[in-house]
Structure 1
Amino acid sequence: MKIIKINVESPEKEKIGMVLDILRQGGTAVYPTDTVYGLAANIFREKAVLDVYEMKERSLDKPMSVCVSRVEDIKKIAFFDEHVEGIIKKILPGPYTLILNRKKNVPTQITSGSDKIGVRIPDNNICREISREFPITTTSANISGHSAPKSAQEAWEELDDHPDIIIDSGPCNGGISSTVVDLTVNPPIVLREGEGMKKLLNCIK
């Protein structure tokens, strides 16, 4: 397990490349988001995703959300109409997990067999860089049921040396989990209140 420091304002290309190499090969990484530290695996690498479940001691019956780099990337894995796209563009990047109808290319182990998927584009340069080639898991880097880590140190204390690499960019600004909103229904339904609630409510009125 490696720990590397990456500048969140201007991520170093060679360090981002190192993380991408690990994820391409089916490894796992701890990384910062705009809320808490997350645990990444390439969603198209089955063993890597199962490793994330095992590290977190998470039931395979519980789906995991994914992180992508751009709104255009969401279209590759989920369906939504122009109205929903308008909402998405107003709130992303930001501290939101959007529930959408998944496309068939999304592995069912990510969604636990559901036809829906949770998608994030965090307001954080590092996670957008390491998800630019493929979607990554964006579950918090902790044992299920424990508090979500706000720093790389807290994530390391939770998961020990099980992740292949830990990115340290200092404490996360948010510190609480993302707001989860179901955009497959009209009007949208907030499933979990977290960061950014006021902005979200203004956008979905």
Structure 2
Amino acid sequence: MEEILDILKNRNTILYPTDTVWGLGCDATNEEAVKKIYQLKNREESKSLIILVSSIEMLEQYVDYIPKKALEILRESEKPTTIIYNNPKGLAANTVASDNTIAIRIPQDDFCIQLIKEFGKPIVSTSANVSGEPTPKSFSEISEAILKNVDYVVNLQQEKVAEKSSTILKIEGDTVIVIRE
């Protein structure tokens, strides 16, 4: 864990297992680190990223307002659910979408929660693939381009297979809009 925390503190990138698919991560509050993620994925910075936080309390530090409906979903959801929030704060500008929103998930994975708690800040979580390529469902499907260029590979659960990414929801008033099932 200490080595991973040093990597994150030094604005570097990690490849790690999440509660969904293998992810590329970095300090979500540091623009330089986030830029490395976009370069790894060969992705335009205009496409926003998913951020992981360890708890509702941490979430409150990075968004102006959490709708009641979002709190209900977070407390009741049994599967990984990412929610899009308005007016993020304290995050790297290049993590925020052009409409001033951010996609945030509280992972349902002990390792991820512990990592975020010990790091003390949110981390980026984007699928470990080059933009346009299929999302790898297992470590063995991650491309050489990613493996060679990421700063650190978390050697944990390399046999893990993920069937799908998280559900992504946007809440407008009392209306829940499903962005990705």
Hey, what's the Cα distance between the residues in 1 that align with 2:47 and 2:94? 9
Instruction: Say if 1:96 and 1:178, in contact at 8 Å, map to a contact too.
Output: yes
RMSD over aligned CA atoms reads 1.8
Aligned identity (percent) is: 31
Pair 1:153-2:153 in alignment: no
* Residue of structure 1 equivalent to 2:153: 166
Instruction: Say if 1:32 and 1:124, in contact at 8 Å, map to a contact too.
Output: no
Cα distance, 1:183 vs structure 2: 2.1
Greater alpha carbon shift after TM alignment, 161-170 vs 30-39: 161-170
Cα distance, 1:189 vs structure 2: 0.6
Structure 2 unaligned blocks of 5 or more: none
* Residue of structure 2 equivalent to 1:197: none
Pair 1:88-2:74 in alignment: yes
Hey, what's the Cα distance between the residues in 2 that align with 1:33 and 1:59? 23
Q: Any residues of structure 2 matched to 1:20-39 within 5 Å, and which?
A: 20-39=5-24
The TM-score, its normalising length taken from structure 2, stands at 0.89
The TM-score, its normalising length taken from structure 1, stands at 0.79
1:115 to 100, 103, 112: 100
Please list the CA deviations of residues 109-131 of structure 1 after superposition, one character each: whole Å capped at 9, or x if unmatched. Answer: 10143321100122212222222
Pair 1:69-2:54 in alignment: yes
CA separation of 1:172/1:21 partners in 2, compared to 1, >3 Å: closer, same or farther?
A: same
Matched to 1:152, the amino acid is F
* Residue of structure 2 equivalent to 1:177: 165
Hey, what's the Cα distance between the residues in 1 that align with 2:95 and 2:135? 20
* Residue of structure 2 equivalent to 1:126: 111
Aligned length: 177
* Residue of structure 2 equivalent to 1:201: none
* Residue of structure 2 equivalent to 1:6: none
Hey, what's the Cα distance between the residues in 1 that align with 2:92 and 2:27? 11
